Structure 1
Amino acid sequence: STADSGSHTVLLELGSLTTCPYCPAAAEALKEIASSPPSPFYYVVLVYDESEAAKVRGRQLKDMYVPMLYVDGGHYVVEWGMTGKSDYEKVIEEAAARSVHDIDMTLEAAWSNGNIDVTLTIDNHGGAYLGRLRLYVVEKDSRWVDAKGKHYNNSLLDYRDNFIFVGGQGSTTIETTWENSYGLEEGNAMIIVSVSHWLPKIGVNPPNPWYYKYFLAFPVDECIGVEL
C-alpha cells in the first residue's frame, strides 16, 4: 500500500478516573497543547468510572493504570509518570511523522431532532484497504468532574467500532444516525472518527504485569473531527 508520511491527524486517548490525583495535570496538559498544537491532533478522555464506552475502549487497550496516554490507537503509549506538556508534545510530533496508509476523510455531522446525523467519506489513494473505523461521541465541557473539582474536557460518551473496506484508488461514503440517549446538548458535542488498517501491531503497556502487558494496537492512518 502507498505510504503517506507526515500528513495525518494524530489521535490521543487518555485513560482517567475521577478519583485519580495525577489525572487532572495530564488532562490539563492536553488542553493546553491543543490551544497551540505542534501538529494537528484530536484527543479524547476515557473516564473509566463514569463512562461505559470508556470501559469498553479501556479493555481493548488493557489499561490498568491512569493516566495513560494512547497515541494513534496505541502505536505509542505514554505511561502515567510522564504527564508533562513536553512529554506529550514530543510524542505528538513523533506520531505525526509516522508513515501511514494514504487515506483522506471528509466528515459532516449535524443535529436532527435531538440526534446527530453523520456522513463520512473515505478516499483511499493506495491499494485495496480493509480497515477498522472507530467513532467517538465526545462531550466537550464534560458533566464529569475530576479529582481537583474541575470538569473534564473532551470526555467520551459513546463509541462505535466497525470494519470497513475501500477498494484501491476508491472511495466510500458511510451514513449513520447517532441516537442521543445521553442528554448531550447542541453546541457541546464533538464527533471524532479514526481509521486504522486491519492488521494490528503489538502494543505495550510498560507498567502492567507481564500477563496483561500486551494488547492489539491498530495504528491510526487518519483521524478527523467536527464540533457541533
Structure 2
Amino acid sequence: MNKKVAYWMLAFFLTVSFTLPGTFLVNSSASETSTEKGSGSYTHTVFAEYCSLSYCPHCPPVSSQLQQIYNSNDYPFIYVTLVYDKNPKIRNRCAELGVQGFPTVVFDGGYTRVIGEQSSIEPFVSAIEECGERDDVYDVSIDILMRSMGNDRIQVNVTIFNRDSRAYQGTLRAYVAEIESRWRDASQKPYHFAALDFVYNQPISISSGGKLDLSTIWDGSEYNIDIEDIVVIAAVFDSHTDYADNVSMADIYSAYPDTIITSGPEGIINETTVTFTWIGKDREVPAEQLLYSYRLEPLYPEWSDWTSATTVTYTNLSEGWYKFEVKAKNPDNEEDPKPASSTFAVNLHHPPEVKISKPGRRLCINNKVYPIPLPIVIGKCDIYVDATDEAGIDHVDFYIDGELEYQDTHQPYQYTTWYTTTFFKRYTIEVIAYDTLGNQNSDII
C-alpha cells in the first residue's frame, strides 16, 4: 500500500469517526426544550431515553439529575439509560433518535430533547412538563407482568389497551434494564435503569377499544443478572410521529400482591393507642379475596394469623420505637414480598435513668475504686455511666467543670481516661444521657 492510499484511508476513517451519531462529546448548556408552560396537566407518563458514554465527563451530572427527578415522584416520568459504548444492542436506538453527542436525553421519542451538561434539573423538568401537556397522544395504556422462571429466565407478559376512538398503529419497545447498573459513569457511580436488551421491539396494531396480549420468555443467562435488580420498561410509539404515547415499568414483584397502608401513625406521637388501616391489590384477583397478616415489632414480633380484616388497633403502648408491617396473600398463597411498613415512636416524655457508676461517690486512686464513701480522685480514673431508657439511649455526654470532654454513643458508656493534675482541687463531674426521642436526664458528683 503506497503512502497516498494510506493517507486517504486514514482521512476517511477520521471523517466517519467524527460524523457518525454518538461518537463525540457535547458540553453544551443549551437545551432544545420549549420555555412555554401550559396548565401543568399530564396526558400520559412521559418517557425519556438517556444516551450516555461511560467515559463522558459531562454525563455524571445528568445521570444524577434524572434520578433525582425520578425519585422525587413529583412527575409522571420514567426513563431508561442507553450506555452507548457498553451495549451494542442499543446503539442502533441512539442512531434512530438522531443522537450526535453525549449526553443527550430524548423525551417521548423525539418530541423534545435536552443536549449536554446542565447546571440544574430545570431543563429536564421543563421537557417533562412540555411533553406531559401534549394533546396528540393516543389513549393507550400498558400493563406488564414479570415472573421468574429460574436460571435467569423471566417471563414477560405485556398487555396494551387502546381506549382511543382510532385504531392504533405503532411500535412497542420494551427494555430489560438494571435498577442499579453494572456499568459506571465517568464519576465511577453506577448508572440507573441501564438497558441490557430489548425484550420486545416490534410493530403493533390495535383496533379501537381493543387490546394486544404478548408473552415471551427473556433469557438473561448471558448477563448473570440479579433478578431483584431487573425491571422491564415498555413504551409505545405512534407510527405517524414516532413519539411515545405512554410508558410503563414493572419489576419482578409486579406479579405478586401489593399492600398499601392507608392510615396510621408516623414519626413521634404522644398517644399510647394507635390504629392502622390498609388495602391490598392483586393483578389477577379482586381485593375481596385477599388475606392479610401483620406484626408490630418489638412488641409482637411474630406475624399474625391470616385475616380478611383491613384494620388493627394497639393499646397501652409503652414509650419507644415501633415498626408496623402488613402483607397481603392471594388465593394462590402468593404473598407480598415487600410488606408495607410504618415506623413510629411513642414519647411519654419519660427521662432516661442515668447514674455515674464509677467512681461514684467513692474514693478512686489510680483507677481503683475503694469502698470508702469519699468522692475523692487521686491520679487516673475512668468514668463509667449506667444509662437506660425504654426508647433506647442515643448518647451520653461527659462534662468536667462544665466543659464537654467526651460523647459516647455505645454501651458501656465511659470516658477513658480522666485524671486530676492538681491536688486538693474541687471538680464537678456531670453526665447527661439523651434517649432516642430527645428526652434527657443527668447525674452529678
Tell me the TM-score normalized by structure 1: 0.86
Q: Hey, what does 1:185 align to over in structure 2?
A: 226
**Superposition pairs of residues 89-168 of structure 1, within 5 angstroms:** 89-99=125-135, 100-113=137-150, 114-126=152-164, 127-159=166-198, 160-168=200-208
2-structure distance, mates of 1:111, 1:52: 25
Q: Post-superposition shift, 1:146?
A: 1.0
**Superposition pairs of residues 26-105 of structure 1, within 5 angstroms:** 26-82=62-118, 84-99=120-135, 100-105=137-142
Q: Hey, what does 2:246 align to over in structure 1?
A: 222
Greater mean deviation of Cα atoms: 178-187 or 128-137: 178-187
Q: Post-superposition shift, 1:34?
A: 0.8
| 4+ aligned runs moved over 3 Å, structure 1 | none
2-structure distance, mates of 1:193, 1:13: 12
Q: Post-superposition shift, 1:37?
A: 3.5
| Paired residue total | 207
Instruction: Establish whether residue 175 from structure 1 lines up as the match of residue 212 from structure 2.
Output: no
Q: Which has the higher contact order (CA 8 A, sep 6+)?
A: 1
1:118-175 deviation line (CA, Å, top 9, x unaligned): 1111111122111110011101111111111111111111124200111111112111
Percent of aligned positions that are identical: 31
1:43-92 deviation line (CA, Å, top 9, x unaligned): 11111110112312111112120101100111111111446311111111
- Secondary structure, in 3 states, of the residue corresponding to 1:148? coil
1:8 alignment partner AA: H
The answer to whether the Cα contact below 8 Å between 1:39 and 1:96 also exists between their aligned partners in 2 is no
Instruction: Name the Cα RMSD after superposition.
Output: 1.4
1-structure distance, mates of 2:62, 2:50: 8
The answer to whether the Cα contact below 8 Å between 1:38 and 1:93 also exists between their aligned partners in 2 is no
Unaligned runs of 5+ in 2: 1-40, 253-445
Larger Rg: 1 or 2? 2
1:179-201 deviation line (CA, Å, top 9, x unaligned): 1122221110110000111113x
1:138/1:123 Cα in 2 relative to 1: closer, same or farther (>3 Å)?
same
2:219 alignment partner AA: E
1-structure distance, mates of 2:143, 2:116: 34
